Amino acid sequence: MLEFKHFSVIQSLCRVGLAEGGAGFRKQVERLKERLSKDGAREEAAMLERLLNADAREATLVPSKVELSRTFLKGQKLTETTVPPSDRETSAPIADIILNPTPSPVAPVLTDELRMAVDAVVREWAAVEALSRAGLSPPYSSLIFGPPGTGKTLTALYLAEKLGLPVVRARIDGIVSSFLGTTARNLSNLFEFANRYQCILLLDEFDAIAKLRDDPHEVGEIKRVVNTLLQNLDSRAGIGLTIAITNHPSLLDPAVWRRFEVRLEVPAPQFEQRLELVETFLVPLKPDSHIVRFMAWITEGQTGADIRTMIDTLKRYVAMNRDTRTETAWLEALTSFAARNSGGGQDVRTKFLLSDRKELAEALDSSMVPDFTQREIADIVSKDQTTVSHWISAKRKSGNEEEGMNA
């Protein structure tokens, strides 16, 4: 059976190509799958089979953009001249209007499970008339939660773009007031505004207005706010879509959870997603593939926002230093980034950049995903292959002796 050292890169290329490459690209992926199967690489062939099946389902069921029936959309259209709602006393805006939501030049990098869930929502809205004939309706509310920086807002905007609807995005700094009763009144005004228009109401930092009502540290005002929120969520059901976003789902009142038909968790990215993020953020830079895989490996435990910060730092380094073609330059840039950004609980592996090169080489050798060759490890740590081979052999010998003693 053949070994495929760079299959994770091939898999990512196939996923991107299937999304944008058309029938010709799909045919080539099918040929690759067949050849892998003949060569005995059954696991890799099965992965491509899943990608092909998922692409076929998306092509059949998930429209690029939903044309929503006006029968099921209540209210007026938002325009450039529409004035957003504001606090009556301070005139501070309590919402922003996004007429043409788009998350970024490319779709957000989602796990397969999350993309499946988002596409399911889109498909249900695309079939709104069929659902209505069966006495059903698509989901009118969605709660998106997960750690900071994982792309929750991008996911919400991606969903809005797919549904072809503008977004009324709540401004928590304008809604929350120190004056008694003002926060609840602003919240009611926000919902009244959104209910007048064909739009998605986006409630970011949702935990600020949806906290547990039995929290002993909160005053009675938060209870009034949550009660107002629940009443408005109920009244909006069947009128328009509401998407709420929070970094702290454990702070939400249980009654709030029950108001949301769809609950989407956006986790920290796994290796495949980190690799895709690194490749996307690096453009137009093109390091060797093992350097890109190393960057994805080193960012374990980090969010998409963390990865973007790292890549932006590398790009600045490249802009200031011409000699960035060698592995030494990339390692120096990454080490400089690690020194400036250590701590915070996100440096699960970046700490290896600040350690002895021998320790980094041993860690890379023990990695299962991705799998690095000794030549690649030598390039990454800027040592000759003989030295790296000696380090790794000694480490493996020591590990075997330890296992023998414990047996």
Number of domains in the chain: 3
pLDDT at 106 over 80: no
* Same-domain pairing of 204 and 245: yes
Return the structure tokens found at 84: 């957003």
Give the confidence band of 102 by pLDDT, cuts at 50, 70, 90: confident
Backbone φ and ψ for 296, nearest 5 degrees, come out as -70, -35
* Same-domain pairing of 42 and 84: no
d(CA 285, CA 279): 9
Q: In the prediction, which pLDDT does 216 show? A: 57
d(CA 267, CA 223): 30
pLDDT at 87 over 80: yes
Better-scored residue on pLDDT, 70 or 199: 199
Q: In the prediction, which pLDDT does 2 show? A: 46
Positive or negative, the CA dihedral 315, 321, 322, 327 is negative
d(CA 174, CA 91): 9
pLDDT at 372 over 70: yes
pLDDT at 8 over 80: no
Span 346-358, average pLDDT: 82
* Same-domain pairing of 336 and 355: yes
Q: Among 13, 34, 61, identify where a domain stops.
A: 61
Q: Which of the residue ranges 117-126, 219-228, 277-286, 319-328 would you say has the lowest mean pLDDT?
A: 319-328
Residue 403 belongs to some domain of the structure? no
* Same-domain pairing of 100 and 16: no
* Same-domain pairing of 24 and 122: no
* Same-domain pairing of 148 and 233: yes
* Residues 233 and 194: beta-carbon distance below 8 Å: no
Q: Among 265, 299, 329, identify where a domain stops.
A: 265
* Residues 359 and 340: beta-carbon distance below 8 Å: no
| DSSP sequence for 61-93 | H--SS----GGG--SBPP-TTPPPPB-TTT--B
pLDDT at 175 over 70: yes
Residue 351 belongs to some domain of the structure? yes
Q: In the prediction, which pLDDT does 121 show? A: 92
pLDDT digits (tens, 9 = 90+) for 179-207: 768 889 999 999 999 999 999 999 999 99
**The domain containing residue 19 runs over which residues?**
1-61
Span 347-368, average pLDDT: 87
Return the structure tokens found at 378: 């030598």
* Same-domain pairing of 189 and 273: no
* Residues 361 and 309: beta-carbon distance below 8 Å: no
Span 382-407, average pLDDT: 80
pLDDT at 44 over 60: yes
Residue 407 belongs to some domain of the structure? no
Q: In the prediction, which pLDDT does 256 show? A: 92
Q: In the prediction, which pLDDT does 384 show? A: 92
Q: In the prediction, which pLDDT does 77 show? A: 92
* Residues 84 and 171: beta-carbon distance below 8 Å: no
Q: In the prediction, which pLDDT does 105 show? A: 57
Assess whether the previous peptide bond of 84 is cis (omega < 30° from 0): no
* Same-domain pairing of 121 and 49: no
Better-scored residue on pLDDT, 32 or 214: 32
* Same-domain pairing of 227 and 304: no
Identify which of 3-12, 20-29, 83-92 has the greatest average pLDDT.
Answer: 83-92
Q: In the prediction, which pLDDT does 28 show? A: 82
Q: In the prediction, which pLDDT does 1 show? A: 38
pTM for this one?
0.78
* Same-domain pairing of 249 and 157: yes
* Same-domain pairing of 102 and 170: yes
Q: Domain with 131 in it: what CATH number?
A: 3.40.50.300
User: What is the pLDDT of the chain when averaged over all its residues?
Assistant: 84
Share of the chain above pLDDT 70, in %: 83
Q: Which of the residue ranges 55-64, 155-164, 311-320, 345-354 would you say has the lowest mean pLDDT?
A: 55-64
Span 34-61, average pLDDT: 74
Q: In the prediction, which pLDDT does 98 show? A: 96
* Residues 183 and 177: beta-carbon distance below 8 Å: yes
